[in-house]
Structure 1
């Protein structure tokens, strides 16, 4: 790696899937995996193209049951471009001698470069150099330039390009027993010489897809059709040392795109009028340059290079183009088919970063949730409750998409899946509404859609709380927390846990914050209108106030209990399991394969209670517990951190991120180990094969936010920037820019105990900057340098 490139040297089939994921190119509307164009989908390669929000629902028979799943659809493959010497076999790295191979992801310009040298008979060598882009300025275009050069003797080369509509969703091995044939009615044709098209639709969601490709070369191009593929063929005569170029330009549209009539005709028109490769590359690089300026980050060394790669993939999934779409935050990006492209709670880790760089994207992602508010209210009604219950997994229309069965690859058994009981996703949405409004100053959103979501989420929590006379407290029963390992009590017939501390504390926060919005932020006419529309009954707000102060938070042995009864669980032989299995990240699968269950043990997959320290500053968390009638001083929190640190297997890429964030303030000397794990999660495929199925978007964005908010203690609160930096010896110098309440390009830099805040010139009011020991105002056009206390 360098600061701006990510390079792979040599061909390595065992790691090809990971490379394809990390070399994915996208623009926020669609993305294409970094597969080699001459290779088809098999156990080594998996070309895939995915459009944001393009889902389809199919029913499969699993373990004798009919199971319905909605998937992000693998769209027709626009990449295919294969080649062979006249009369020979098609050349691929798996079937022909590879003399050298290099793949380079150029982050600065959003370009994927590939150079391969194939050995041919007679001592000849064919060099294949390719440049690929998915256009960031025009989000419906992609292009592939291929340069062929031969050494040794004149060679005739057959080249075949294609649009392939015969693809399926088969990128995740454990899903292959499910129906993955999402495309139907595939037709191909020729628009005019050199340009072919393909159209199809999804089987149940009936999304129409139009794709067109233009092939240009220094030789005649012949168009033929072998449905479901549109083919273009050209024969090149290669003179030794003379490079011959073939350019393939592609346009993609779906019926979900705004301001179009027919996707196919629009795609044909777009590719017909698209400029040549050089001009496309220039405008593409310009668009990327603008993104890099808005999201500037300056961190030295290897951490900085990985952070820039993470930022690259975040921006390819959620770019300013996303602001025009009705889409959420796909947990695995647009990079693969894991989790079926569903939207979980990962926006909790993504939006805090976007809020301070691309607030228009954050707003659009919150609009996705607001459009599905009615569906969430229907889900709450189905449980006999008021308010809104958002699904743990969401897709096209906001219904619960969580599968009811999941496969344990270790045992080969299909098991019940109760993760839909993670009702805390509603609190994550409420948190993001508040964080967005604080960072952007978007009062209009807070007063309208934001307030509507807050009110209905708060209403659900208040209606979910039941009074326990023996405790003299309210309780929330039958849920699953962020840990995910614990879905039920040992030997219980029904799933669900009582009084998950994270769920209850965040529910109390939602209730408190919503009451604050209703009383202090909304103009009186809007407040009245909102309450009338919601048809709040007399006494509901008073009940919210009561519940927000009396929700039960269990403790055991002087630490916060993950849930009521957690302290009664057995201790696990952690050392024994590490010796037997080495990697115990997925402890749940190990125990199930042994005929045991993790429900019996004090063992967590990832941060649960400790997530509270990720969401809230120490002072805010203490205030929350004080409101709930509990004392949470530094000693209790440190003991809680130590307790769960010793009992967590880190089976999620988010785990290292959250623990690094927490330890930066609780146990600084150990923080860097977890920060490194968060940084390396995908690039080193630490979860053992999962990166090849798609990036972990929340973890990638979270590492950026670790630098932006975690290490700086940055909060956007009460109309001010609050900063409480924590120095890490391994990361003593870093800087970044941000957008805050209309100020573009505010720069923060920390180095050697010095904090620098630079506000660009404008006619906006000064920024109020608050540190633990002082408050300053930084005027537009000014730079303040502050010496931090040791």
Structure 2
């Protein structure tokens, strides 16, 4: 279990009821808001071995730009990187590597005392902390340094990637000589990364401009404006090398007299504007006129509004509360609703692993959070899949199928960029088959489209994009397999979520998802014909639906082999799985290394060892489709056989365990998922935070412990709180309505606050269904195995 003292990122020590005020010695950078200790993550001290993981955890991002939480002056094995969403460099395809663009390091800053640079690796560190304010999206840092001559310098930093203005990046440092006077120097340099982008620099008035051109033809501009304020006044332009990307300030500092350096940076690319250089320089001048403090306040206000719309509150379990706030912070950091041509990579904008490529993680693990808390963001992510539909169609055609087969790893165009080979942990080079065989992603995307439509009733999206995706993915499944002599439809040579087993036939997850995809596509056509006869001819012409296709999809779905045995209620994970070697995994737990490394890849493939939720994932996604007895049987069978060799796995097991009433077991899975990024100083996060796991944590809390399920006419609440969760509350959006749900262990109570929107229904498990209206509060109490009637009151 992940415990708070297991080398985890700890909360800020209690600073009193008023929180941590930015004007106190705790944070001497003056900002017009307080840091609430309950919303802060802190890394105290400095361990250069942990630095890569810490940098990922303390990333500041806004879905457009992401900057890792590196130390400003650099130390140890630092990886100071800023990523720009949607811009890739390199080449895809055979032998190519396509990766997310890395921008120049705009945060690089050195402080020198009498010409000697301050460093955590020299002198004596009296105090050092990085503080991530999860409520306001600001990274603070406090450092007191004593050099070899006994001079003590206090430094406090603030950094933000703005939410109110996604092109704007902010940095500030306050320097105070505590026991000496002398010359202090600040050197500010924007260093160029070793990348495929060629950068040039120039001065544009009092703004420094960096201009880059990627090898794929995208122009990027970064404009910066800096100023230094100290006891003698304000210096708005530095002096020094004369290079546009390097500036230097020197002043004679008095004992105890603070000086503050502020820098504003603006980023644009030719993806958004015709002239990025002009846009960036004009924008940074306006930002400088507004001032860093005012911009920081606007950013903090925008971030706090997003928190209010998405916060999950847990009372009684501080570990779970901290994990959920961390998860929601990074989920909100990862998405840009203003850009429908980008999606979220497997490590978001926080690290290099998977090179910014987009997987099924986005639709299955992330989309629910956005669908129910930020529908505009969910829509933008699905629009990315619509814009890459031509590439999916082309991929299916090249492989001999109809319809659309989405890339297993996608970048900007939607073409498949899965590497052909990787180096295994034992050093061997192995072929990567996921890009060739892991086809369930097309159904995963269809699932997300349907869930979004059901939850939002966004008819415009459905008519212009969603229906196309559902129809084209169904067409793929109608041709991916075939009816064989046994009269059943088989899909052969695939990889399911359990990637330990390759080239298998009739994977249950793949086939059930395909079956569902075919059924929903047929339903889509029926609905369009009956409800939108005015636009159906346009859509039909656009996707060229033939009259008999919907019926053929239903016939194919009915013939689909799913591996389900009515006698045992079990799904066989794939044809022949039950014949594989039985292997007791208990002696190998807890697994510090993956099981396929421990026992070897070949034996793993011969054994009933599951990498991650596969059949169990069907229970998480299709709770209403199968009886509870089916879910129970499959969890009992597959949970002991699951090695959780993927970070995606524990959260879905938490969802299903909670729905089965095993809430304490669900909490254990929840802690396991949270520990992936937060325990051991983020040792597993050097390549970036596990953003899909963080989406899974939200689902575990809301869909699992909170018991939220989606119905045609409203929502179901079927809560199961762990024994140490006294209260769980969260906001939700459903078809334009805004509600908040609170579940209290004692006295066994569910409260629904209907904040705004048209009337809807809310249903309790084994309880009453209630039509609710806005500006009212509804309360139900536990009565035996069921619930009392709802009690209604004005809010």
Give the TM-score taking structure 1 as reference length: 0.89
Instruction: Supply the RMSD in Å over aligned alpha carbons.
Output: 2.2
| Match status 1:682 vs 2:677 | yes
C-alpha displacement at 1:239, in angstroms? 1.2
CA shift digits 1:442-486 (9 cap, x unpaired): 12222331111000111111111211223x311011110011111
Partner residue, 1:497: 504
Q: CA 1:576/1:374 → structure 2, altered by over 3 Å: closer, same or farther? A: same
Q: CA 1:675/1:59 → structure 2, altered by over 3 Å: closer, same or farther? A: closer
Partner residue, 1:214: 225
Partner residue, 1:530: 539
| Match status 1:696 vs 2:687 | no
Q: CA 1:776/1:573 → structure 2, altered by over 3 Å: closer, same or farther? A: closer
Structure 1 distance, partners of 2:268, 2:580, is 54
C-alpha displacement at 1:555, in angstroms? 5.2
* Structure 2 residue matching 1:788: 3-state secondary structure: strand
CA shift digits 1:140-174 (9 cap, x unpaired): 11111111111332121221101122x13xxxxxx
Partner residue, 1:55: 88
Matches within 5 A, 1:755-766: 755-761=750-756, 764-766=758-760
CA shift digits 1:37-72 (9 cap, x unpaired): 1117xx621111111111112479xxxxx7111101
Partner residue, 2:658: 664
Structure 1 distance, partners of 2:777, 2:511, is 42
Structure 2 distance, partners of 1:728, 1:262, is 55
C-alpha displacement at 1:112, in angstroms? 1.1
Moved more, 702-711 or 245-254: 702-711
C-alpha displacement at 1:658, in angstroms? 1.0
Structure 2 distance, partners of 1:266, 1:80, is 23
Task: Select 2:285's aligned residue among 265, 269, 272.
Answer: 272
* Structure 1 residue matching 2:86: 3-state secondary structure: coil
Q: CA 1:415/1:96 → structure 2, altered by over 3 Å: closer, same or farther? A: farther
- How many residues matched? 732
* Structure 1 residue matching 2:641: 3-state secondary structure: coil
Moved more, 386-395 or 78-87: 78-87
Is contact 2:659-2:707 (8 Å) kept? Answer: no
Q: CA 1:606/1:251 → structure 2, altered by over 3 Å: closer, same or farther? A: same
Q: CA 1:383/1:58 → structure 2, altered by over 3 Å: closer, same or farther? A: closer
| Match status 1:182 vs 2:196 | yes
Partner residue, 2:139: 112
Structure 2 distance, partners of 1:296, 1:689, is 26
C-alpha displacement at 1:121, in angstroms? 3.1
Moved more, 398-407 or 151-160: 151-160
Partner residue, 1:606: 612
CA shift digits 1:401-444 (9 cap, x unpaired): 11111112x32222101111111111111111111111111122
Matches within 5 A, 1:93-242: 93-165=120-192, 167-168=193-194, 181-184=195-198, 186-193=199-206, 195-203=207-215, 205-218=216-229, 221-223=237-239, 230-242=245-257
Task: Select 1:560's aligned residue among 556, 561, 571.
Answer: 571
Partner residue, 1:306: 323
Is contact 1:6-1:104 (8 Å) kept? Answer: yes
Partner residue, 1:620: 625
| Match status 1:36 vs 2:51 | no
Partner residue, 1:380: 396
Q: CA 1:597/1:322 → structure 2, altered by over 3 Å: closer, same or farther? A: farther
C-alpha displacement at 1:603, in angstroms? 0.8
Partner residue, 1:395: 411
Partner residue, 1:67: 95
| Match status 1:296 vs 2:311 | yes
* Structure 2 residue matching 1:650: 3-state secondary structure: coil
C-alpha displacement at 1:720, in angstroms? 1.4
| Match status 1:330 vs 2:341 | no
Matches within 5 A, 1:338-487: 338-347=353-362, 348-408=364-424, 410-420=425-435, 421-470=437-486, 472-487=487-502
Is contact 1:685-1:691 (8 Å) kept? Answer: no
Is contact 1:587-1:651 (8 Å) kept? Answer: yes
Q: CA 1:59/1:324 → structure 2, altered by over 3 Å: closer, same or farther? A: closer
Task: Select 2:767's aligned residue among 763, 770, 773.
Answer: 773
C-alpha displacement at 1:238, in angstroms? 1.9
Q: CA 1:406/1:520 → structure 2, altered by over 3 Å: closer, same or farther? A: same
Is contact 2:351-2:689 (8 Å) kept? Answer: yes
CA shift digits 1:213-258 (9 cap, x unpaired): 111114654445687x71000112221111111111111111112x
Q: CA 1:689/1:549 → structure 2, altered by over 3 Å: closer, same or farther? A: same
Partner residue, 1:628: none
Partner residue, 2:27: none
Structure 2 distance, partners of 1:527, 1:261, is 37
CA shift digits 1:659-688 (9 cap, x unpaired): 1111113344422211111222211169x8
Q: CA 1:587/1:447 → structure 2, altered by over 3 Å: closer, same or farther? A: same
Is contact 1:438-1:719 (8 Å) kept? Answer: no
Is contact 1:585-1:650 (8 Å) kept? Answer: no
Is contact 1:143-1:250 (8 Å) kept? Answer: yes
CA shift digits 1:359-414 (9 cap, x unpaired): 01111111000011111111111121111101111101001111111112x32222
CA shift digits 1:313-345 (9 cap, x unpaired): 111111xx4333411121111101111111101
